[in-house]
């Protein structure tokens, strides 16, 4: 991919990831700080209530309650000692003063709750830091969820963009070469057909090779500029038989037998040219997968069209990537055949299923 194209696509996505992460962290920090302060306020009020209850208990028992600030300060020291002694052991670690204090430094926060008109309770603690916020399970969960969403969004944007660039390249190449290639192909085929009476084998090979070049060009054009299918009523067995006849030289050269069976004379509405291209690609792949010879079984039913061969079958890697654009395990392969077939079948509201036979060999199913 061109660096400028990467910058146009990846730049906004990376920026979104960074800004989004910072935004999530700031929101989590604000929410946690607010919750922590509310809990700290509640803690101070609970301590103040405890002190008021203690004073009220002394009054009820007839004990002397100070009436001046100095007396309350002495009384506060007693409460402070009780506090540190463990009466409220769950709050250990919080500094406690029984007087109004100045605002602490930026590293600390204070909450002051009046006990009565002459005494107030002030709790002081270190502020909750960002590191403490990020250690919380809910923070880790929120960040993980955001990153998963960002990764899914990136995946959904980048992959189609890669395909779009590939197809754009294909379109440029196909458009520039199509006109220059078609005319020589037509001339080669015409001269080959004229020579068939005098030299059937050689002329047939010329016509076949010219057809291969034209077929490859058509596949490139389809990927570059796909068009909706032009549907007419066709008989599947007739179309398959015609495709087999075209590929017979390749099958005979590879000592491959083709066996066609049909449980019904099935008719469908489809683009004859495009669907013929699907069958052509699948049959040719099977022939090329059996260089030492073998058999290709083609079965037509109301449910699907099956292409099963006696070759080595698809490798696990090929099963994962067989229909991916420009992926091929064949030496010199371009990775167009199954990808084009899959797109054409999908355009007919069908599915292309790729797998292996239990007894060995590849199995390709066309469901229409």
Q: How far is CA 90 from CA 85, 203, 211, in A?
A: 11, 98, 87
159 token code pair: 């992959």
Asked if residue 368 and residue 244 are part of one domain, the reply reads yes
In whole angstroms, what separates CA 126 from the centre of its chain? 44
**How confident is the model at residue 155, as a pLDDT?**
72
Which residue, 135, 164, 191, sits at the end of a domain?
135
Asked if residue 129 and residue 243 are part of one domain, the reply reads no
Judge contact between 98 and 79, C-beta under 8 A. yes
Instruction: Compute the chain's Rg from CA coordinates.
Output: 40
Which residue, 71, 104, 135, sits at the end of a domain?
135
CATH code for position 264 = 3.30.565.10
Asked if residue 355 and residue 234 are part of one domain, the reply reads yes
Domain-embedded: residue 198 = no
Domain-embedded: residue 46 = yes
Domain-embedded: residue 165 = no
* Residue spans of alpha helices (H) in the chain: 3-60, 69-82, 130-134, 137-195, 200-224, 236-246, 248-253, 272-288, 316-321, 337-347
Domain-embedded: residue 148 = no
Q: Interior CA angle at 201 toward 196 and 203, to 5°?
A: 40
Which residue, 78, 108, 135, sits at the end of a domain?
135
Asked if residue 24 and residue 130 are part of one domain, the reply reads yes
Distance CA 50, CA 342 (A): 76
Asked if residue 240 and residue 131 are part of one domain, the reply reads no
Judge contact between 365 and 305, C-beta under 8 A. yes
Judge contact between 257 and 296, C-beta under 8 A. yes
Q: What is the mean pLDDT of each run of 10 residues along the chain (368 residues)?
A: 59 81 88 86 81 72 58 57 47 52 70 76 79 83 85 71 60 62 74 72 70 70 69 92 88 91 87 89 90 92 92 84 59 65 88 90 92
DSSP string covering 180-193, please? HHHHHHHHHHHHHH
Judge contact between 189 and 210, C-beta under 8 A. yes
Give the domain range for residue 16.
Answer: 3-135
**How confident is the model at residue 257, as a pLDDT?**
94
Distance CA 304, CA 178 (A): 34
Judge contact between 310 and 189, C-beta under 8 A. no
Domain-embedded: residue 105 = yes
Domain-embedded: residue 142 = no
Domain-embedded: residue 193 = no
Judge contact between 361 and 308, C-beta under 8 A. yes
Domain-embedded: residue 256 = yes
Query: Domain count of the chain?
Result: 2
* Sheet (strand 351-356) strand order: 256-262, 294-300, 305-309, 362-367, 351-356
Cβ neighbour number for residue 64 with a 10 Å cutoff? 9
Is residue 330 helix, strand or coil?
coil
């Amino acid at each position: 991919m061109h660096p400028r194209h990467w910058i146009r696509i990846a730049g906004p996505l990376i920026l979104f990831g960074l800004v989004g992460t910072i935004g999530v962290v700031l929101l989590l920090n604000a929410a946690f700080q607010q919750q922590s302060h509310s809990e700290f306020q509640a803690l101070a009020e609970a301590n103040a209530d405890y002190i008021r209850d203690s004073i009220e208990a002394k009054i009820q028992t007839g004990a002397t309650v100070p009436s001046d600030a100095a007396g309350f300060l002495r009384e506060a020291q007693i409460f402070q000692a009780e506090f540190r002694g463990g009466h409220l052991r769950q709050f250990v670690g919080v500094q406690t003063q029984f007087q109004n204090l100045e605002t602490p430094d930026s590293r600390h926060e204070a909450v002051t709750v009046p006990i009565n008109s002459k005494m107030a309770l002030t709790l002081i603690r270190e502020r909750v830091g960002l590191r403490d916020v990020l250690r919380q399970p809910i923070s880790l969960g929120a960040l993980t969820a955001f990153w998963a969403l960002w990764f899914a969004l990136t995946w959904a944007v980048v992959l189609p963009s890669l395909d779009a660039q590939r197809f754009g390249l294909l379109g440029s190449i196909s458009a520039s070469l199509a006109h220059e290639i078609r005319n020589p192909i037509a001339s080669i085929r015409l001269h080959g057909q004229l020579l068939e009476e005098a030299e059937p084998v050689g002329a047939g090979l010329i016509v076949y090779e010219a057809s291969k070049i034209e077929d490859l060009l058509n596949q490139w054009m389809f990927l570059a500029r796909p068009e909706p299918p032009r549907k007419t009523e066709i008989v599947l067995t007739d179309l398959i038989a015609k495709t087999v006849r075209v590929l017979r030289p390749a099958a005979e050269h590879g000592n491959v037998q083709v066996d066609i069976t049909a449980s019904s004379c099935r008719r469908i509405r489809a683009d004859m040219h495009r669907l013929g291209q699907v069958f052509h690609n699948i049959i040719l792949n099977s022939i090329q997968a059996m260089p030492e010879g073998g058999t290709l079984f083609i079965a037509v039913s109301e449910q699907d069209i099956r292409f099963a061969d006696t070759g080595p079958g698809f490798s696990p890697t090929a099963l994962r990537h067989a229909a991916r654009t420009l992926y091929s395990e064949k030496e010199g392969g371009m990775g167009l055949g199954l990808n084009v077939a899959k797109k054409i079948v999908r355009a007919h509201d069908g599915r292309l299923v790729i797998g292996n036979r239990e007894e060995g060999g590849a199995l390709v199913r066309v469901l229409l």
